[in-house]
């Protein structure tokens, strides 16, 4: 199966490389020339546009920042719709608004192209080692055709429902991750301010009920003062905006997410939007006048 991959950023680049390493023939495209050059050097064929990638592919994967980017890549000038062949499968692995996933799927269906929405969780480290959690929405028969390929990029690949369900699941994931990071930072700030070593607090609680994947991934970074992005605050803001918009449509209260968004927006105003989302700890350092370090 010939695969097209569009979107070679922090996440897309290692995901595409893992497919190449597994022996798949890829045609790739990205607006950032350096990213495109790197993946071509790794063994991919260079695409000149999204349309060009679509013309050369049986399966098209996109990994893009947000809803408008996916719509432009698919429906814009020199987009996927202009080059895609009947029977092609389109898998959008971006984290976008579920309603946009449904809109794009409807546009592709006109050309007899099936779509899955398959956003991921795990950040850059899990993209690199191919252990992402992949949440998929779409028809089961389409999912089964590409499940093995998705498994090259993910440690878990789960079909959760119809088209759009993948992104609903991702929104739920992002709500939980943001809340976990904020509460972790709040707890470590409290401990530090009280004169207790935050490293020892982390080691003491990680094996108990408060232990989590989020805690083990982000607490060591906070304790080192390392906010090099695996997943940027600005991207988490984008996801929470989508979550809040969806919650508003469904009339679901979101007090925890509302407050977490305020923390992230405060950090954005301080110019920290490109920090890792573990950098939410800096909000507590700023207002608590405390430094959370080993």
155 in helix, strand or coil? strand
- Read off the tokens for 263: 């923390």
- Mean pLDDT across the chain: 97
Final residue belonging to a domain, choices 144, 163, 182: 163
Pairing of strands 45-46, 59-62: unpaired
Which pLDDT score, from 0 to 100, does residue 153 have? 98
Burial of 146 (0-12, 13-18, 19+ CB in 10 A): buried
Is the same domain home to 41 and 12? yes
**Residue entry with tokens 């207790």:** 196
Is the same domain home to 98 and 144? yes
- The predicted model gives 26-40 an average pLDDT of 98
Contacts of 292 (CB under 8 A, 6+ apart): 185, 188, 189, 192, 198, 222, 223, 281, 284, 285
Is the same domain home to 125 and 268? no
Could you tell me the pLDDT band of residue 38, with boundaries at 50, 70 and 90? Answer: very high
18 pLDDT more than 90: yes
Share of residues in the chain with pLDDT > 90 (%): 96
Final residue belonging to a domain, choices 142, 163, 184: 163
293 pLDDT more than 90: no
Residues with a known catalytic role: 170
Is the same domain home to 180 and 143? no
> Distance (Å, rounded) from C-alpha 30 to C-alpha 282?
33
252 in helix, strand or coil? coil
Is the same domain home to 59 and 126? yes
- Cβ neighbours around 34 below 10 Å, total: 8
* Prediction pTM value: 0.89
Which residues partner with 158 through β-bridges?
135
Could you tell me the pLDDT band of residue 230, with boundaries at 50, 70 and 90? Answer: confident
- The predicted model gives 19-41 an average pLDDT of 98
Is the same domain home to 133 and 8? yes
Residue 293: inside a domain, yes or no?
no
Is the same domain home to 210 and 251? yes
> Distance (Å, rounded) from C-alpha 164 to C-alpha 247?
15
Q: Of the given ranges (15-19, 93-97, 123-127), which has the lowest mean pLDDT?
A: 123-127
Is the same domain home to 127 and 271? no
Could you tell me the pLDDT band of residue 279, with boundaries at 50, 70 and 90? Answer: very high
Is the same domain home to 8 and 61? yes
Is the same domain home to 37 and 135? yes
Which pLDDT score, from 0 to 100, does residue 58 have? 98
Contacts of 7 (CB under 8 A, 6+ apart): 30, 62, 63, 64, 69, 73, 94
Share of residues in the chain with pLDDT > 70 (%): 100
Residue 219: inside a domain, yes or no?
yes
Q: How far out from the chain centre does Cα 159 lie?
A: 17
CA distances 24 to 21, 46, 94, Å, are: 7, 14, 21
Residue 119: inside a domain, yes or no?
yes
Which pLDDT score, from 0 to 100, does residue 294 have? 80
Q: Higher model confidence: residue 223 or residue 229?
A: 223
| CATH number, residue 241 | 1.10.1040.10
Is the same domain home to 16 and 144? yes
What is the count of structural domains for the chain?
2
- Read off the tokens for 115: 């779509």
Residue 294: inside a domain, yes or no?
no
Final residue belonging to a domain, choices 137, 163, 189: 163
Structural domain span for residue 16: 2-163
Residue 35: inside a domain, yes or no?
yes
CA distances 38 to 29, 33, 187, 253, Å, are: 11, 9, 41, 44
Residue 118: inside a domain, yes or no?
yes
Could you tell me the pLDDT band of residue 94, with boundaries at 50, 70 and 90? Answer: very high
Is the same domain home to 84 and 127? yes
| CATH number, residue 13 | 3.40.50.720
Which pLDDT score, from 0 to 100, does residue 196 have? 97
């Amino acid at each position: 199966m010939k695969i097209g991959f569009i979107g070679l950023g922090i996440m897309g680049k290692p995901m595409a490389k893992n497919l190449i390493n597994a022996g798949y023939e890829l045609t790739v495209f990205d607006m950032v020339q350096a990213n495109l050059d790197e993946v071509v050097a790794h063994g991919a064929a260079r695409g000149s546009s999204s349309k060009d990638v679509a013309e050369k592919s049986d399966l098209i994967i996109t990994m893009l920042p947000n809803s408008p980017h996916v719509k432009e890549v698919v429906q814009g000038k020199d987009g996927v719709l202009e080059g895609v062949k009947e029977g092609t499968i389109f898998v959008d692995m971006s984290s976008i608004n579920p309603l946009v996933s449904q809109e794009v799927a409807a546009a592709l269906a006109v050309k007899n192209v099936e779509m899955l929405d398959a956003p991921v969780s795990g950040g850059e480290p899990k993209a690199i080692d191919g252990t992402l959690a992949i949440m998929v929405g779409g028809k089961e028969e389409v999912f089964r055709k590409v499940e093995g390929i998705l498994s090259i990029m993910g440690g878990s690949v789960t079909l959760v429902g119809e088209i759009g369900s993948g992104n609903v699941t991702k929104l739920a994931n992002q709500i939980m991750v943001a809340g976990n990071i904020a509460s972790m930072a709040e707890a470590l700030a409290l401990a530090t301010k009280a004169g207790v070593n935050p490293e020892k607090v982390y080691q003491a609680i990680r094996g108990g009920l408060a232990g989590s994947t989020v805690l083990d991934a982000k607490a060591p970074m906070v304790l080192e003062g390392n906010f090099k992005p695996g997943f940027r605050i600005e991207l988490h803001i984008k996801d929470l905006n989508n979550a809040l918009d969806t919650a508003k449509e469904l009339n679901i209260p979101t007090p925890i997410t509302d407050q977490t968004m305020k923390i992230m927006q405060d950090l954005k105003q301080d110019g920290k939007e490109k920090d890792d989302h573990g950098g939410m700890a800096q909000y507590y350092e700023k207002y608590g006048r405390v430094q959370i370090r080993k």
